Amino acid sequence: MSQPLQISPETAIKLSKQLGVPLEHLMHMPKHILLQKLTELAKAEAEAAKPSDSASNSEESSS
């Protein structure tokens, strides 16, 4: 059986909300699964930020 993750309570709550998983599940999630989910979350955030950056750049260049 795996040990609970060694993270602070504040970090656990934040990750639980961001990943949309119950806190109990997060604390007993295998590290490789957690890293995979964090990678997916980071990619999604980067893709969400990318179009807004290019949209603001195209507005500036059309002026």
pLDDT of the residue at 7: 87
CA distances from 30 to 4, 5, 7, 53 (A): 9, 8, 13, 35
Alpha-carbon span 10 to 12, nearest angstrom: 5
Instruction: Give domain limits for the chain.
Output: 9-62
pLDDT of the residue at 16: 92
Quick: pLDDT tens for 3-43: 777 889 999 999 999 999 999 999 899 999 999 999 998 99
Tokens representing residue 51 in the block: 């179009």
Q: Three-state DSSP class for 6?
A: coil
